[in-house]
Amino acid sequence: MSAPQSSRALQRGALGMVLLVLAWEGVARGFNLPAYTLPSVSAILGSIFDHRTTLFLAGAYTFAEAFSGYVIGAVIGIALAVVITLIPMTRNAIVPVATSINSVPVVAWSPLILLWFGIGMPSKVVMVALAVSFTVFLSALAGLDRVDRRSVDLMRSFGAGRLAILFRLRLPTALPLIAAGLRVSTVRAVIVAIVTEMLGAYDGLGWVIYQAVLQVDFVKVWSAIFIASAASLAFFGLVGLAERRLVFWK
Amino acid sequence: MTTVLSHAPMGAHYTKKKEAGLPVSIQGSGEAALAAKAAGASDAAQILSLTGVTKTFGATRALDGFTATIDKGEFVTVVGPSGCGKSTLFNIVAGLEEPDPGCAMRFEGNSVIAADLLGRVSFMPQRDLLLPWRTVIDNAILALEVEGAPRKEARALAEKMLPEFGLTGFGQQYPHQLSGGMRQRVALMRTFLFKRDLMLLDEPFGALDALTRTMMQRWLLDVWQKHQRTILFITHDVDEALFLGDRVLVMSARPGKVKLEQKVDLPRPRPAEIVISPEFIRLKRTLLEAIEEEAMKSFTAEGK
Protein backbone atom coordinates (compact mmCIF):
# COMPACT_ATOMS: atom_id res chain seq x y z
CA MET A 1 0.00 0.00 0.00
CA SER A 2 1.39 3.40 -0.91
CA ALA A 3 1.69 6.17 1.65
CA PRO A 4 -1.13 8.46 0.41
CA GLN A 5 -3.50 5.49 0.18
CA SER A 6 -2.81 4.37 3.72
CA SER A 7 -3.20 7.90 5.10
CA ARG A 8 -6.54 8.24 3.28
CA ALA A 9 -7.69 4.96 4.84
CA LEU A 10 -6.59 6.36 8.19
CA GLN A 11 -8.58 9.55 7.62
CA ARG A 12 -11.71 7.59 6.71
CA GLY A 13 -11.29 5.38 9.77
CA ALA A 14 -10.93 8.41 12.03
CA LEU A 15 -13.97 10.09 10.46
CA GLY A 16 -16.09 6.96 10.98
CA MET A 17 -14.94 6.80 14.60
CA VAL A 18 -15.88 10.45 15.26
CA LEU A 19 -19.33 9.97 13.67
CA LEU A 20 -19.95 6.86 15.75
CA VAL A 21 -18.99 8.64 18.98
CA LEU A 22 -21.20 11.63 18.14
CA ALA A 23 -24.20 9.42 17.32
CA TRP A 24 -23.65 7.40 20.51
CA GLU A 25 -23.39 10.53 22.63
CA GLY A 26 -26.52 11.96 20.97
CA VAL A 27 -28.59 8.81 21.46
CA ALA A 28 -27.53 8.33 25.09
CA ARG A 29 -28.23 11.98 26.01
CA GLY A 30 -31.19 12.59 23.70
CA PHE A 31 -33.18 9.60 24.92
CA ASN A 32 -31.84 10.04 28.43
CA LEU A 33 -30.93 6.35 28.55
CA PRO A 34 -30.10 4.88 31.97
CA ALA A 35 -26.42 3.98 32.46
CA TYR A 36 -27.11 0.21 32.60
CA THR A 37 -28.60 0.39 29.07
CA LEU A 38 -26.09 2.70 27.41
CA PRO A 39 -23.98 5.28 29.19
CA SER A 40 -22.80 8.28 27.16
CA VAL A 41 -19.26 8.30 25.80
CA SER A 42 -18.39 11.31 27.91
CA ALA A 43 -19.52 9.47 31.05
CA ILE A 44 -17.35 6.49 30.10
CA LEU A 45 -14.31 8.70 29.43
CA GLY A 46 -14.92 10.38 32.77
CA SER A 47 -15.03 7.02 34.49
CA ILE A 48 -11.79 5.98 32.76
CA PHE A 49 -10.18 9.12 34.16
CA ASP A 50 -11.56 8.48 37.63
CA HIS A 51 -10.35 4.87 37.70
CA ARG A 52 -7.22 5.48 35.69
CA THR A 53 -4.81 3.80 38.12
CA THR A 54 -6.97 0.69 38.59
CA LEU A 55 -7.70 0.40 34.88
CA PHE A 56 -4.10 0.99 33.86
CA LEU A 57 -2.79 -1.64 36.27
CA ALA A 58 -5.50 -4.12 35.30
CA GLY A 59 -4.80 -3.42 31.62
CA ALA A 60 -1.08 -3.98 32.12
CA TYR A 61 -1.82 -7.22 33.97
CA THR A 62 -4.07 -8.52 31.21
CA PHE A 63 -1.67 -7.43 28.51
CA ALA A 64 1.20 -9.21 30.29
CA GLU A 65 -0.86 -12.43 30.28
CA ALA A 66 -1.95 -12.00 26.68
CA PHE A 67 1.53 -11.14 25.48
CA SER A 68 3.37 -13.98 27.23
CA GLY A 69 0.70 -16.47 26.14
CA TYR A 70 0.97 -15.05 22.65
CA VAL A 71 4.73 -15.50 22.45
CA ILE A 72 4.61 -19.03 23.87
CA GLY A 73 1.73 -19.96 21.56
CA ALA A 74 3.46 -18.52 18.52
CA VAL A 75 6.67 -20.43 19.27
CA ILE A 76 4.74 -23.69 19.81
CA GLY A 77 2.67 -23.21 16.64
CA ILE A 78 5.65 -22.48 14.41
CA ALA A 79 7.75 -25.24 16.02
CA LEU A 80 5.03 -27.86 15.41
CA ALA A 81 4.70 -26.83 11.77
CA VAL A 82 8.48 -27.00 11.35
CA VAL A 83 8.61 -30.46 12.94
CA ILE A 84 5.99 -31.69 10.48
CA THR A 85 7.98 -30.22 7.59
CA LEU A 86 11.24 -31.80 8.69
CA ILE A 87 9.73 -35.17 9.66
CA PRO A 88 6.75 -35.65 7.33
CA MET A 89 5.52 -38.80 9.05
CA THR A 90 4.66 -36.81 12.18
CA ARG A 91 1.96 -34.95 10.23
CA ASN A 92 -0.62 -37.69 10.71
CA ALA A 93 -0.03 -37.69 14.45
CA ILE A 94 0.11 -33.94 15.11
CA VAL A 95 -2.62 -32.54 12.87
CA PRO A 96 -5.55 -34.68 14.17
CA VAL A 97 -4.58 -34.08 17.82
CA ALA A 98 -4.22 -30.33 17.33
CA THR A 99 -7.50 -30.18 15.44
CA SER A 100 -9.47 -32.18 18.01
CA ILE A 101 -8.16 -30.01 20.87
CA ASN A 102 -9.33 -26.97 18.94
CA SER A 103 -12.61 -28.37 17.68
CA VAL A 104 -14.34 -26.93 20.79
CA PRO A 105 -14.18 -23.24 21.70
CA VAL A 106 -11.00 -22.60 23.67
CA VAL A 107 -13.10 -21.26 26.55
CA ALA A 108 -14.50 -24.76 27.08
CA TRP A 109 -11.09 -25.78 28.36
CA SER A 110 -10.95 -22.97 30.93
CA PRO A 111 -12.48 -24.86 33.91
CA LEU A 112 -9.85 -27.59 33.52
CA ILE A 113 -7.03 -25.14 32.92
CA LEU A 114 -8.09 -23.10 35.99
CA LEU A 115 -8.13 -26.32 37.99
CA TRP A 116 -4.67 -27.37 36.81
CA PHE A 117 -2.91 -24.01 36.77
CA GLY A 118 -4.77 -22.08 39.49
CA ILE A 119 -6.59 -18.75 39.55
CA GLY A 120 -3.43 -16.67 39.00
CA MET A 121 -1.60 -15.62 35.87
CA PRO A 122 -0.36 -19.03 34.62
CA SER A 123 -3.83 -20.32 33.72
CA LYS A 124 -4.47 -17.26 31.50
CA VAL A 125 -1.10 -17.61 29.82
CA VAL A 126 -1.83 -21.28 29.10
CA MET A 127 -5.27 -20.47 27.68
CA VAL A 128 -3.90 -17.74 25.42
CA ALA A 129 -1.04 -19.98 24.30
CA LEU A 130 -3.55 -22.72 23.49
CA ALA A 131 -5.66 -20.40 21.36
CA VAL A 132 -2.75 -18.67 19.63
CA SER A 133 -0.70 -21.79 18.94
CA PHE A 134 -3.45 -23.37 16.87
CA THR A 135 -4.04 -20.34 14.65
CA VAL A 136 -0.32 -19.82 14.13
CA PHE A 137 0.22 -23.54 13.60
CA LEU A 138 -2.36 -23.70 10.81
CA SER A 139 -1.04 -20.64 9.01
CA ALA A 140 2.61 -21.71 9.41
CA LEU A 141 1.79 -25.17 8.07
CA ALA A 142 -0.06 -23.71 5.09
CA GLY A 143 2.89 -21.39 4.45
CA LEU A 144 5.50 -24.14 4.69
CA ASP A 145 3.45 -26.38 2.40
CA ARG A 146 3.23 -23.63 -0.21
CA VAL A 147 6.92 -23.84 -1.06
CA ASP A 148 7.60 -24.40 -4.77
CA ARG A 149 8.81 -27.94 -5.40
CA ARG A 150 11.17 -26.60 -8.07
CA SER A 151 12.83 -24.20 -5.64
CA VAL A 152 13.42 -27.09 -3.26
CA ASP A 153 14.96 -29.06 -6.13
CA LEU A 154 17.20 -26.14 -6.99
CA MET A 155 18.44 -25.97 -3.40
CA ARG A 156 19.00 -29.73 -3.40
CA SER A 157 21.02 -29.47 -6.59
CA PHE A 158 23.30 -27.08 -4.71
CA GLY A 159 23.81 -29.86 -2.20
CA ALA A 160 21.61 -28.25 0.48
CA GLY A 161 20.34 -30.42 3.32
CA ARG A 162 16.94 -30.18 5.02
CA LEU A 163 18.00 -27.55 7.52
CA ALA A 164 19.57 -25.29 4.91
CA ILE A 165 16.39 -25.59 2.83
CA LEU A 166 14.28 -24.83 5.93
CA PHE A 167 16.10 -21.65 6.86
CA ARG A 168 16.97 -20.31 3.43
CA LEU A 169 13.81 -21.26 1.59
CA ARG A 170 10.88 -22.70 3.52
CA LEU A 171 10.65 -20.32 6.46
CA PRO A 172 11.06 -17.14 4.37
CA THR A 173 8.47 -18.44 1.89
CA ALA A 174 6.09 -19.17 4.75
CA LEU A 175 6.74 -15.82 6.42
CA PRO A 176 3.84 -13.88 4.82
CA LEU A 177 1.31 -16.47 6.02
CA ILE A 178 2.95 -16.87 9.42
CA ALA A 179 2.87 -13.08 9.85
CA ALA A 180 -0.81 -12.95 8.88
CA GLY A 181 -1.54 -15.68 11.44
CA LEU A 182 0.40 -13.74 14.08
CA ARG A 183 -1.54 -10.56 13.30
CA VAL A 184 -4.93 -12.24 13.58
CA SER A 185 -3.85 -13.93 16.81
CA THR A 186 -3.19 -10.62 18.61
CA VAL A 187 -6.89 -9.86 19.04
CA ARG A 188 -7.62 -13.46 19.91
CA ALA A 189 -4.96 -13.38 22.63
CA VAL A 190 -6.51 -10.36 24.38
CA ILE A 191 -10.04 -11.78 24.12
CA VAL A 192 -9.07 -15.16 25.57
CA ALA A 193 -7.12 -13.52 28.42
CA ILE A 194 -10.12 -11.35 29.39
CA VAL A 195 -12.70 -14.12 29.11
CA THR A 196 -10.57 -16.45 31.23
CA GLU A 197 -10.14 -13.69 33.83
CA MET A 198 -13.91 -13.34 34.04
CA LEU A 199 -14.13 -17.02 34.92
CA GLY A 200 -11.69 -16.71 37.79
CA ALA A 201 -8.81 -14.34 38.50
CA TYR A 202 -7.21 -12.04 41.07
CA ASP A 203 -6.59 -9.15 38.73
CA GLY A 204 -6.87 -7.93 35.13
CA LEU A 205 -9.49 -6.25 32.96
CA GLY A 206 -11.75 -9.34 32.90
CA TRP A 207 -11.72 -9.37 36.66
CA VAL A 208 -12.53 -5.62 36.77
CA ILE A 209 -15.46 -6.19 34.42
CA TYR A 210 -16.74 -9.09 36.50
CA GLN A 211 -16.48 -7.09 39.74
CA ALA A 212 -18.15 -4.05 38.18
CA VAL A 213 -21.07 -6.19 37.02
CA LEU A 214 -21.52 -7.48 40.60
CA GLN A 215 -21.49 -3.86 41.81
CA VAL A 216 -23.95 -2.90 39.04
CA ASP A 217 -21.42 -0.27 37.87
CA PHE A 218 -22.02 -0.44 34.13
CA VAL A 219 -20.08 2.70 33.34
CA LYS A 220 -17.02 0.98 34.80
CA VAL A 221 -17.76 -2.12 32.69
CA TRP A 222 -17.74 0.09 29.64
CA SER A 223 -14.53 1.83 30.63
CA ALA A 224 -12.78 -1.55 31.07
CA ILE A 225 -14.09 -2.58 27.64
CA PHE A 226 -12.72 0.63 26.14
CA ILE A 227 -9.30 0.01 27.63
CA ALA A 228 -9.31 -3.63 26.46
CA SER A 229 -10.31 -2.57 22.97
CA ALA A 230 -7.61 0.10 22.83
CA ALA A 231 -4.97 -2.39 24.02
CA SER A 232 -6.15 -4.92 21.43
CA LEU A 233 -6.02 -2.37 18.61
CA ALA A 234 -2.57 -1.18 19.61
CA PHE A 235 -1.27 -4.78 19.74
CA PHE A 236 -2.81 -5.54 16.35
CA GLY A 237 -1.38 -2.36 14.87
CA LEU A 238 2.13 -2.98 16.17
CA VAL A 239 2.25 -6.53 14.87
CA GLY A 240 0.79 -5.34 11.56
CA LEU A 241 3.52 -2.72 11.32
CA ALA A 242 6.21 -5.30 12.04
CA GLU A 243 4.64 -7.55 9.41
CA ARG A 244 4.88 -4.89 6.71
CA ARG A 245 8.51 -4.30 7.61
CA LEU A 246 9.34 -8.00 7.62
CA VAL A 247 7.42 -9.07 4.51
CA PHE A 248 8.66 -6.15 2.42
CA TRP A 249 8.61 -8.03 -0.87
CA LYS A 250 4.84 -8.61 -0.96
CA MET B 1 44.10 -26.93 -39.70
CA THR B 2 43.89 -23.60 -38.01
CA THR B 3 40.13 -23.62 -38.28
CA VAL B 4 39.95 -27.03 -36.66
CA LEU B 5 41.86 -25.67 -33.73
CA SER B 6 39.63 -22.68 -33.28
CA HIS B 7 36.53 -24.90 -33.17
CA ALA B 8 38.07 -27.27 -30.74
CA PRO B 9 36.20 -27.16 -27.48
CA MET B 10 38.21 -25.63 -24.76
CA GLY B 11 38.96 -27.00 -21.34
CA ALA B 12 40.64 -30.25 -20.49
CA HIS B 13 40.78 -31.46 -24.05
CA TYR B 14 42.94 -28.62 -25.02
CA THR B 15 45.04 -28.27 -21.90
CA LYS B 16 45.82 -31.98 -21.84
CA LYS B 17 47.49 -31.80 -25.20
CA LYS B 18 49.69 -28.98 -23.99
CA GLU B 19 50.63 -30.81 -20.84
CA ALA B 20 51.64 -33.80 -22.90
CA GLY B 21 54.50 -31.65 -24.22
CA LEU B 22 53.45 -31.83 -27.81
CA PRO B 23 55.02 -29.53 -30.36
CA VAL B 24 53.71 -26.01 -30.08
CA SER B 25 53.48 -25.49 -33.82
CA ILE B 26 49.89 -25.05 -34.92
CA GLN B 27 50.32 -27.77 -37.47
CA GLY B 28 51.53 -30.30 -34.91
CA SER B 29 48.97 -29.70 -32.19
CA GLY B 30 46.18 -29.75 -34.77
CA GLU B 31 47.24 -33.22 -35.81
CA ALA B 32 47.44 -34.26 -32.18
CA ALA B 33 43.90 -33.04 -31.63
CA LEU B 34 42.68 -35.13 -34.51
CA ALA B 35 44.58 -38.11 -33.20
CA ALA B 36 43.02 -37.72 -29.78
CA LYS B 37 39.57 -37.59 -31.38
CA ALA B 38 40.32 -40.63 -33.50
CA ALA B 39 41.44 -42.61 -30.49
CA GLY B 40 37.86 -42.29 -29.27
CA ALA B 41 36.99 -40.00 -26.44
CA SER B 42 39.11 -41.27 -23.60
CA ASP B 43 37.65 -41.43 -20.11
CA ALA B 44 39.65 -38.41 -19.05
CA ALA B 45 38.11 -36.24 -21.76
CA GLN B 46 34.57 -37.22 -20.87
CA ILE B 47 32.82 -35.39 -18.11
CA LEU B 48 29.56 -37.29 -18.32
CA SER B 49 28.46 -40.46 -20.02
CA LEU B 50 24.98 -41.92 -19.91
CA THR B 51 24.26 -45.40 -21.15
CA GLY B 52 20.74 -46.71 -21.57
CA VAL B 53 19.13 -44.29 -19.13
CA THR B 54 15.47 -45.19 -18.72
CA LYS B 55 12.86 -43.60 -16.48
CA THR B 56 9.30 -44.72 -15.95
CA PHE B 57 6.62 -42.86 -13.99
CA GLY B 58 3.81 -45.30 -13.28
CA ALA B 59 2.59 -46.37 -16.70
CA THR B 60 4.41 -43.60 -18.57
CA ARG B 61 7.90 -44.12 -19.86
CA ALA B 62 9.60 -40.73 -20.06
CA LEU B 63 13.06 -41.84 -21.15
CA ASP B 64 13.93 -45.04 -22.95
CA GLY B 65 17.59 -45.96 -23.25
CA PHE B 66 19.02 -42.47 -23.51
CA THR B 67 22.70 -42.77 -24.38
CA ALA B 68 25.13 -39.88 -24.78
CA THR B 69 28.54 -38.67 -23.72
CA ILE B 70 29.62 -35.13 -23.02
CA ASP B 71 33.25 -34.09 -23.32
CA LYS B 72 34.92 -31.60 -21.04
CA GLY B 73 34.54 -28.03 -22.27
CA GLU B 74 31.88 -28.95 -24.78
CA PHE B 75 28.67 -27.03 -25.39
CA VAL B 76 26.01 -29.62 -26.13
CA THR B 77 22.45 -28.63 -26.90
CA VAL B 78 19.44 -30.92 -26.63
CA VAL B 79 16.33 -30.29 -28.74
CA GLY B 80 13.14 -32.25 -28.93
CA PRO B 81 9.38 -31.96 -29.13
CA SER B 82 7.57 -30.87 -25.98
CA GLY B 83 7.02 -33.64 -23.47
CA CYS B 84 9.92 -35.72 -24.82
CA GLY B 85 11.50 -36.20 -21.41
CA LYS B 86 14.10 -33.43 -21.66
CA SER B 87 13.36 -32.19 -18.16
CA THR B 88 13.38 -35.72 -16.77
CA LEU B 89 16.83 -36.16 -18.29
CA PHE B 90 17.99 -32.99 -16.58
CA ASN B 91 16.51 -33.96 -13.24
CA ILE B 92 18.47 -37.19 -13.42
CA VAL B 93 21.74 -35.50 -14.35
CA ALA B 94 21.19 -32.89 -11.62
CA GLY B 95 20.82 -35.77 -9.15
CA LEU B 96 17.20 -34.97 -8.29
CA GLU B 97 15.74 -38.20 -9.58
CA GLU B 98 17.09 -41.73 -9.87
CA PRO B 99 16.69 -43.43 -13.25
CA ASP B 100 15.25 -46.94 -13.43
CA PRO B 101 17.75 -49.65 -12.48
CA GLY B 102 19.88 -51.12 -15.22
CA CYS B 103 21.51 -48.05 -16.69
CA ALA B 104 25.05 -46.85 -16.36
CA MET B 105 26.17 -43.32 -15.56
CA ARG B 106 29.73 -42.10 -15.35
CA PHE B 107 30.74 -38.69 -14.10
CA GLU B 108 34.33 -37.40 -14.25
CA GLY B 109 35.52 -40.93 -14.83
CA ASN B 110 33.67 -42.59 -11.96
CA SER B 111 30.59 -44.75 -12.03
CA VAL B 112 27.82 -42.87 -10.17
CA ILE B 113 24.16 -42.99 -9.21
CA ALA B 114 22.02 -39.88 -9.62
CA ALA B 115 22.15 -38.94 -5.93
CA ASP B 116 25.95 -38.71 -6.14
CA LEU B 117 25.49 -35.81 -8.55
CA LEU B 118 23.68 -33.59 -6.03
CA GLY B 119 25.92 -30.60 -5.41
CA ARG B 120 28.30 -31.59 -8.23
CA VAL B 121 26.71 -30.04 -11.30
CA SER B 122 25.34 -26.53 -11.51
CA PHE B 123 21.74 -26.69 -12.52
CA MET B 124 19.61 -23.88 -13.82
CA PRO B 125 15.91 -24.70 -14.09
CA GLN B 126 13.50 -23.16 -16.60
CA ARG B 127 12.10 -20.56 -14.24
CA ASP B 128 14.59 -18.20 -12.64
CA LEU B 129 13.29 -19.15 -9.15
CA LEU B 130 14.90 -16.10 -7.57
CA LEU B 131 14.07 -15.61 -3.92
CA PRO B 132 12.00 -12.41 -3.61
CA TRP B 133 13.41 -11.54 -0.19
CA ARG B 134 17.01 -11.56 -1.37
CA THR B 135 18.80 -8.85 -3.31
CA VAL B 136 20.46 -9.60 -6.66
CA ILE B 137 23.79 -10.21 -4.94
CA ASP B 138 22.31 -12.42 -2.25
CA ASN B 139 20.39 -14.45 -4.82
CA ALA B 140 23.57 -14.94 -6.81
CA ILE B 141 25.51 -16.25 -3.81
CA LEU B 142 22.81 -18.69 -2.66
CA ALA B 143 24.73 -21.77 -3.76
CA LEU B 144 27.98 -20.48 -2.27
CA GLU B 145 26.20 -19.89 1.03
CA VAL B 146 24.86 -23.43 1.00
CA GLU B 147 28.42 -24.63 0.45
CA GLY B 148 29.40 -22.74 3.60
CA ALA B 149 31.37 -19.89 2.03
CA PRO B 150 31.58 -16.79 4.25
CA ARG B 151 28.92 -14.32 3.14
CA LYS B 152 31.26 -11.39 2.92
CA GLU B 153 33.67 -13.12 0.56
CA ALA B 154 30.86 -14.55 -1.54
CA ARG B 155 29.29 -11.11 -1.87
CA ALA B 156 32.60 -9.56 -2.90
CA LEU B 157 32.99 -12.27 -5.54
CA ALA B 158 29.48 -11.70 -6.88
CA GLU B 159 29.97 -7.94 -6.85
CA LYS B 160 32.94 -8.36 -9.19
CA MET B 161 30.87 -10.46 -11.59
CA LEU B 162 28.01 -7.94 -11.92
CA PRO B 163 29.43 -6.06 -14.95
CA GLU B 164 30.01 -9.25 -16.90
CA PHE B 165 26.36 -10.19 -16.41
CA GLY B 166 25.12 -6.72 -17.32
CA LEU B 167 23.93 -6.05 -13.80
CA THR B 168 26.20 -3.18 -12.78
CA GLY B 169 24.45 -1.03 -10.21
CA PHE B 170 21.67 -3.56 -9.65
CA GLY B 171 23.35 -5.55 -6.88
CA GLN B 172 21.12 -4.19 -4.14
CA GLN B 173 17.84 -4.39 -6.11
CA TYR B 174 15.20 -7.01 -5.42
CA PRO B 175 14.01 -9.43 -8.13
CA HIS B 176 10.60 -7.75 -8.55
CA GLN B 177 12.41 -4.57 -9.60
CA LEU B 178 14.12 -6.29 -12.56
CA SER B 179 13.08 -7.11 -16.13
CA GLY B 180 12.72 -10.70 -17.31
CA GLY B 181 16.08 -10.68 -19.09
CA MET B 182 17.84 -9.32 -16.02
CA ARG B 183 16.23 -11.87 -13.73
CA GLN B 184 17.44 -14.59 -16.07
CA ARG B 185 20.96 -13.16 -15.92
CA VAL B 186 20.86 -13.18 -12.14
CA ALA B 187 19.83 -16.84 -12.28
CA LEU B 188 22.70 -17.53 -14.69
CA MET B 189 25.08 -15.70 -12.43
CA ARG B 190 23.93 -17.88 -9.55
CA THR B 191 24.62 -20.92 -11.75
CA PHE B 192 28.07 -19.67 -12.77
CA LEU B 193 29.03 -18.80 -9.20
CA PHE B 194 28.31 -22.38 -8.21
CA LYS B 195 31.61 -23.40 -9.73
CA ARG B 196 31.08 -26.84 -11.19
CA ASP B 197 32.59 -28.14 -14.41
CA LEU B 198 29.24 -29.25 -15.79
CA MET B 199 26.39 -26.79 -16.14
CA LEU B 200 22.84 -27.82 -16.96
CA LEU B 201 20.71 -25.07 -18.46
CA ASP B 202 17.05 -25.94 -18.97
CA GLU B 203 15.56 -23.57 -21.57
CA PRO B 204 17.02 -20.56 -19.80
CA PHE B 205 15.86 -18.11 -22.46
CA GLY B 206 12.51 -19.75 -23.20
CA ALA B 207 10.45 -16.99 -21.60
CA LEU B 208 12.30 -14.06 -23.19
CA ASP B 209 11.30 -12.05 -26.25
CA ALA B 210 13.17 -12.80 -29.51
CA LEU B 211 15.47 -9.79 -29.38
CA THR B 212 16.53 -10.24 -25.76
CA ARG B 213 16.97 -13.91 -26.45
CA THR B 214 19.46 -13.32 -29.29
CA MET B 215 21.42 -10.91 -27.13
CA MET B 216 21.50 -13.41 -24.29
CA GLN B 217 22.68 -16.23 -26.56
CA ARG B 218 25.65 -14.23 -27.79
CA TRP B 219 26.40 -13.10 -24.31
CA LEU B 220 26.24 -16.69 -23.02
CA LEU B 221 28.78 -17.82 -25.63
CA ASP B 222 31.14 -15.05 -24.51
CA VAL B 223 30.79 -16.00 -20.88
CA TRP B 224 31.15 -19.69 -21.65
CA GLN B 225 34.37 -19.12 -23.57
CA LYS B 226 35.78 -17.05 -20.75
CA HIS B 227 34.85 -19.44 -17.95
CA GLN B 228 35.67 -22.71 -19.70
CA ARG B 229 32.80 -24.81 -18.45
CA THR B 230 30.96 -27.72 -20.00
CA ILE B 231 27.38 -26.85 -20.83
CA LEU B 232 24.42 -29.10 -21.48
CA PHE B 233 21.63 -26.87 -22.74
CA ILE B 234 17.99 -27.80 -23.33
CA THR B 235 15.93 -25.87 -25.84
CA HIS B 236 13.04 -26.42 -28.21
CA ASP B 237 14.42 -23.80 -30.61
CA VAL B 238 16.50 -25.28 -33.46
CA ASP B 239 18.20 -21.97 -34.25
CA GLU B 240 19.27 -21.61 -30.66
CA ALA B 241 20.55 -25.20 -30.54
CA LEU B 242 22.69 -24.69 -33.67
CA PHE B 243 23.90 -21.22 -32.82
CA LEU B 244 25.14 -22.27 -29.39
CA GLY B 245 26.17 -25.90 -29.61
CA ASP B 246 29.27 -27.83 -30.58
CA ARG B 247 26.91 -30.74 -30.93
CA VAL B 248 23.14 -31.03 -31.05
CA LEU B 249 21.26 -34.03 -29.71
CA VAL B 250 17.79 -34.39 -31.18
CA MET B 251 15.48 -36.32 -28.91
CA SER B 252 12.68 -38.54 -30.08
CA ALA B 253 9.08 -38.15 -28.97
CA ARG B 254 8.26 -39.77 -25.65
CA PRO B 255 9.76 -42.10 -24.53
CA GLY B 256 12.83 -39.96 -25.18
CA LYS B 257 16.09 -41.22 -26.59
CA VAL B 258 18.70 -39.72 -28.89
CA LYS B 259 17.27 -39.76 -32.40
CA LEU B 260 20.03 -37.82 -34.08
CA GLU B 261 23.41 -36.56 -33.03
CA GLN B 262 24.61 -33.65 -35.16
CA LYS B 263 28.06 -32.14 -34.93
CA VAL B 264 28.05 -28.38 -35.54
CA ASP B 265 31.22 -27.41 -37.39
CA LEU B 266 30.55 -23.70 -37.48
CA PRO B 267 33.57 -21.57 -36.59
CA ARG B 268 33.74 -19.76 -33.28
CA PRO B 269 33.27 -17.02 -32.29
CA ARG B 270 30.00 -17.12 -34.14
CA PRO B 271 28.70 -13.84 -35.51
CA ALA B 272 24.96 -13.16 -35.43
CA GLU B 273 24.80 -13.43 -39.25
CA ILE B 274 25.88 -17.05 -39.11
CA VAL B 275 22.22 -18.03 -38.89
CA ILE B 276 21.81 -17.11 -42.57
CA SER B 277 24.96 -18.86 -43.81
CA PRO B 278 24.37 -21.82 -46.17
CA GLU B 279 26.11 -24.18 -43.77
CA PHE B 280 23.78 -23.16 -40.94
CA ILE B 281 20.73 -23.55 -43.14
CA ARG B 282 21.89 -26.99 -44.26
CA LEU B 283 22.28 -28.15 -40.65
CA LYS B 284 18.98 -26.59 -39.73
CA ARG B 285 17.21 -28.51 -42.51
CA THR B 286 18.63 -31.81 -41.24
CA LEU B 287 17.53 -31.05 -37.69
CA LEU B 288 14.10 -29.78 -38.64
CA GLU B 289 13.39 -32.93 -40.64
CA ALA B 290 14.26 -35.10 -37.67
CA ILE B 291 12.27 -32.98 -35.24
CA GLU B 292 9.26 -32.64 -37.52
CA GLU B 293 8.95 -36.39 -37.66
CA GLU B 294 9.05 -36.66 -33.88
CA ALA B 295 6.73 -33.73 -33.33
CA MET B 296 4.16 -35.40 -35.59
CA LYS B 297 4.53 -38.61 -33.60
CA SER B 298 3.92 -36.93 -30.26
CA PHE B 299 1.08 -34.89 -31.80
CA THR B 300 -0.76 -37.97 -33.03
CA ALA B 301 0.01 -39.80 -29.80
CA GLU B 302 -1.67 -37.01 -27.84
CA GLY B 303 -4.68 -37.13 -30.13
CA LYS B 304 -5.34 -40.77 -29.31
Asked if B131's CB is within 8 angstroms of A158's CB, the reply is no
One-letter identity of residue A243: E
Please say whether the structural domain A63-197+241-246 has been given the CATH code 3.40.605.10: no
- Residue B87's pLDDT band (cuts 50, 70, 90): confident
The per-residue pLDDT for range A169-223, each reduced to its tens digit, is 999 999 999 999 999 999 999 999 999 999 988 999 999 999 999 998 899 999 9
Q: Note whether B148 contacts A: Cβ–Cβ < 8 A.
A: no
A-B CB pairs within 8 A amount to: 52
pLDDT at residue number A33: 83
The per-residue pLDDT for range A115-139, each reduced to its tens digit, is 999 999 999 999 999 999 999 999 9
Q: Note whether B129 contacts A: Cβ–Cβ < 8 A.
A: yes
Distance from CA of B195 to the nearest CA of A (A): 10
Q: Note whether B174 contacts A: Cβ–Cβ < 8 A.
A: yes
Mean pLDDT estimate for chain A: 91
Q: What is the 3-state secondary structure (H, E, C) of chain B?
A: CHHHHHHCCCCHHHHHHHHCCCCCCHHHHHHHHHHHHHCCCCCCCEEEEEEEEEEEECCEEEEEEEEEEEECCCEEEEECCCCCCHHHHHHHHCCCCCCCCCCEEEECCEECCHHHHCCCCEEECCCCCCCCCCCHHHHHCHHHHHHCCCHHHHHHHHHHHCHHHCCCCCCCCCHHHCCHHHHHHHHHHHHHHCCCCEEEEECCCCCCCHHHHHHHHHHHHHHHHHHCCEEEEEECCHHHHHHHCCEEEEECCCCECEEEEEECCCCCCCCHHHHHCHHHHHHHHHHHHHHHHHHHHHHHHHHC
The per-residue pLDDT for range A46-100, each reduced to its tens digit, is 999 999 999 999 999 999 999 999 999 999 999 999 999 999 899 999 999 998 9
Distance from CA of A139 to the nearest CA of B (A): 19
**Residue B161, pLDDT above cutoff 80:** yes
Count how many Cα atoms sit within 13 Å of the Cα of residue B37 in the half-sphere of its side chain: 11
**B contacts of A159 (beta carbons < 8 Å):** 118-120, 146-147
pLDDT at residue number A174: 94
CB atoms inside a 10 Å sphere around CB B119: 20
**B contacts of A150 (beta carbons < 8 Å):** 125, 127, 129
Contact indicator for B118, B97 with CB cutoff of 8 Å: no
ipTM field:
0.77
